[in-house]
Amino acid sequence: MKLARTGYYSTGAALAVLFLFPLLWSAYASVRTPSGFGLENYARLFTADGGIRPHHVLNSVVVCLLTVGGTLLISTLGGYAFGRFDFPGKNALFLLTLAILMVPYATILIALYVLLGWVGLADSLLGLSLVLIMFQLPFAIFMMRNSFEAVPRELEESALVDGCGSVGVLLRVMVHAVRPGIVTVSLFAFLASWSEFFAPLIMLNSTDRFTLMLAVVNMRTASFGAIDYAALEAGVTVMAVPCLVLFVLLQRSYVRGFMSGALKG
């Protein structure tokens, strides 16, 4: 038993080091300067031509809020419908939704850009958010559907007996019961939208609408093609901090979301 436990913890520690090493190296390189250690690279990140500006951070925050909010709204309603109601074509529609996961999203970005142009949302943060929501929905609906199915039906029936309708049951009872699943979906949507590069690259043309990721990558060609690797590492560290903070704060609910039905089918 002790040998098995030792092997378990050793494997976990080795994997943790493997995954954390690139991040720790970026943090180390971001504070390393020719004269020692300091915050010169971070100062250059925010002051150099083509560096990060406040509106880049604001753009990323807006995109994340729209993506997380839209994903939560649609996946909660969709998951509740798939998990609690019976209607014709339910299973086929659910499988069709999951089938979207098999389509490489990069292959349809150009078509989506043209479509957004037709409706007047090209080169806009709202259009980009709609695209990111679409990419998140199959997994989010799958997660929420299984989360709702894991809730005992007696809880729902008690609310119906007390006079709640379907919407009342969802808002007053079910949403609280599937809170770990909601946190998990929110965290996935945030991480995907915060770190997404390819979709903003295609969807956004104006530099004043660039997200933080595009601004950091844009630094590589800002000074006659010379790459400032130290400032680039500082940008990577700045982008990683919100993700780490959110994961640490929400890790208990995140793990509970998987353990309490998010992966039960």
Model confidence over 200-221: pLDDT tens digits?
999 998 888 999 988 888 776 5
pLDDT at 265: 46
What gap in Å lies between CA 52 and CA 211, rounded to an integer? 9
**Residue 264 pLDDT exceeds 60:** no
Q: Which domain holds residue 227?
A: 39-262
Give the model confidence (pLDDT) of 73-100 as tens digits: 999 999 998 988 888 888 898 888 888 8
The predicted model gives 235-239 an average pLDDT of 88
C-beta contacts of 237-243 below 8 A and 24+ residues apart: 237/23, 237/26, 237/27, 237/30, 238/42, 238/45, 238/52, 238/212, 239/194, 239/195, 239/212, 239/213, 240/23, 240/26, 242/194, 243/190, 243/191, 243/194, 243/195
Does pLDDT of 257 surpass 60?
A: no
Question: How many domains is the chain built from?
Answer: 1
Tell me if 13 is assigned to some domain.
Answer: no
- pTM of the model as a whole: 0.85
Q: How would residue 256 be classed by pLDDT, with cut points 50, 70 and 90?
A: low
Instruction: Decide if 111 is inside a domain.
Output: yes
pLDDT band per the 50, 70, 90 thresholds, residue 3: low
- Cα–Cα distance, 168 to 182 (Å, whole number): 18
Query: Does 19 fall in a domain?
Result: no
**Burial tier of 109 (Cβ tally within 10 Å: 0-12, 13-18, 19+):** middle
Give bridge partners of residue 36 from the DSSP assignment.
33
User: Residue 18: inside a domain, yes or no?
Assistant: no
Is position 12 within any domain?
no
pLDDT digits (tens, 9 = 90+) for 66-80: 999 999 999 999 999
Q: What is the pLDDT of residues 102-158, one digit of tens each?
A: 888 888 888 999 999 999 898 999 999 999 999 999 989 998 998 888 888 887 778
Q: Is the pLDDT of residue 260 over 60?
A: no
2-31 vs 229-257: helix axis angle to the nearest 10? 150
- In this structure, is residue 15 part of a structural domain? no
| CATH (domain of 188) | 1.10.3720.10
Is residue 120 included in any domain, yes or no?
yes
- Kindly state the average pLDDT of the residues 51-74: 92
In angstroms, the CA 50 to CA 222 distance is 5
Kindly state whether residue 26 falls inside one of the protein's structural domains.
Answer: no
Please state the rounded mean pLDDT for residues 235-253: 83
pLDDT in tens, 183-203: 889 999 999 999 899 999 999
- The answer to whether residues 138 and 97 touch, using CB atoms and an 8 Å cutoff, is yes
